[in-house]
């Protein structure tokens, strides 16, 4: 497809971020926009929230597009890949992505003895099955030399009661990172994991952000003396997508402020 006079071929790099309409995903998208990237972001239900994110990214001088996706439903991934292909051709006149960030997720806090099979299956579908099979479906759209980022958690290194199922899924993602780094390496595709510590967002019901006692306890166990903010994580994800990080492969990079050292 050739570009027309009103919309020339777009030279900027393009990254797809799942769950990019809010929280850490939106923060990463905005940092990427400032650094010369355009963004395809996904949302599950809140189209208004997604369009607000698109507008914010546009105000930073980048182009963004929001596509609906429920990462818990892998049966929809083939259709989604087709919609991404159409969007790249229609909006950017290209056929490839430069990066893929698996950010979408949920938090379920439940003791091991009270965790239900339904909760376990939901966490597995969103945090482990989705990164595996969504990458598989989008792989033909990733250019050689592209970058994949998985989002994990500090909870794979240290433990907090109530997160056995959640952290188990994130541990699986970290293993997946190393396998994809090895198998996709011949194409120059880099695959790495970012593992945040406690972050003050609405994730998991906003416990870290809204419960002062929880926040204070976690801050006391953090070397830098506070819980994290989205602005502590978004720049890390954005940095890993930069060409200057091209020799970082198969790594788990924890951004926790030094929790439980």
List active site positions.
152-153, 166, 170
Look at residue 63 and give its three-state secondary structure.
Answer: coil
Q: Which two tokens stand for residue 16?
A: 């797809």
Torsion of CA 171, 176, 178, 182, to 10 degrees: 170
Q: Which helix (H) or strand (E) holds 29?
A: helix 23-34
C-alpha triplet 199, 205, 211: angle, nearest 5°: 65
Q: Which residue has the tokens 């997604």?
A: 50
What distance in Å separates the CA atoms of residue 124 and residue 134, rounded to the nearest whole number?
Answer: 14
Q: Report CA Rg, the chain.
A: 18
Contact between 196 and 233 under an 8 Å Cβ cutoff? The reply is yes
What distance in Å separates the CA atoms of residue 133 and residue 224, rounded to the nearest whole number?
Answer: 37
Q: Which two tokens stand for residue 208?
A: 């870290």
């Amino acid at each position: 497809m050739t570009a027309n006079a009103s919309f020339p071929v777009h030279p900027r790099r393009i990254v797809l971020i799942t769950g990019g309409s809010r929280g850490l995903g939106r923060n990463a998208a905005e940092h990427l926009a400032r650094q010369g990237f355009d963004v395809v972001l996904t949302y599950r239900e809140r189209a208004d929230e997604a369009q607000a994110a698109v507008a914010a990214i546009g105000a930073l001088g980048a182009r963004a597009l929001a596509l609906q996706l429920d990462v818990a439903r892998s049966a929809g991934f083939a259709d989604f890949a087709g919609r991404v292909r159409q969007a790249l051709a229609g909006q950017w006149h290209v056929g490839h992505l430069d990066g893929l960030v698996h950010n979408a997720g949920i938090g379920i806090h439940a003791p091991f003895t009270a965790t239900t099979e339904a909760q376990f299956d939901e966490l597995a579908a969103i945090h482990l099955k989705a990164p595996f099979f969504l990458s598989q479906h989008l792989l033909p759209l990733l250019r050689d030399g592209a970058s994949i980022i998985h989002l994990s958690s500090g909870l794979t290194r240290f433990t907090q009661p109530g997160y056995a199922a959640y952290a188990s899924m994130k541990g699986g993602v970290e293993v997946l990172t190393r396998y994809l780094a090895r198998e996709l390496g011949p194409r120059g595709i880099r695959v790495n994991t970012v593992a945040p510590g406690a972050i003050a967002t609405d994730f998991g019901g906003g416990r870290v952000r809204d419960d002062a006692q929880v926040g204070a306890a976690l801050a006391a166990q953090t070397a830098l003396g506070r819980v994290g903010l989205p602005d502590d994580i978004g720049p890390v994800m954005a940095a890993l997508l930069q060409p200057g990080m091209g020799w970082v492969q198969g790594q788990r990079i924890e951004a926790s402020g030094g929790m439980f050292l």
